[in-house]
Amino acid sequence: MRAAKFPCQTSCPPRRSSRPESNLELRREILRAMNKLSPRLRAVVLLALVEEEPYQSIAEALGISESAVKLRVFRGVRILRKNAIGGRSPPMKEPGN
């Protein structure tokens, strides 16, 4: 097991949303979107983004190149964004903010 990257992860209280129902709905949307990924994309996305495994380790474990891992993460995230937000574009930040 890896040590926490940020000390706050183990010592700070969890953040509370003012709208817990929106957090639950977001989790459901993300889960639905994850289930729509192909198994090969889902495996890489979970290892890279959820388990925070290094790309090199993922590549070795799956017998693929590190470039293939990066490409699968990119494609998986693109699909997740599209599916989790219903194809809507996320709000853009104003320049300078």
Q: What is the DSSP string of the chain?
A: -PPPSSTHHHHSPPP--S-HHHHHHHHHHHHHHHHHS-HHHHHHHIIIIIS---HHHHHHHHT--HHHHHHHHHHHHHHHHHHHTTTPPPPPPPTT-
pLDDT tens column, 13-56: 455 555 667 788 888 888 888 999 999 999 999 999 999 999 99
C-alpha distance from residue 8 to each of 13, 14, 48, 49 (Å): 8, 9, 21, 19
pLDDT at 14: 52
Higher pLDDT: 6 or 60? It is 60
Assess whether pLDDT exceeds 70 at residue 85.
no
pLDDT at 86: 64
User: How do the domains of the chain map onto residue ranges?
Assistant: 38-88
Cβ burial of 84 (10 Å; 0-12, 13-18, 19+) is buried
pLDDT (mean) for 55-62: 97
pLDDT at 83: 82
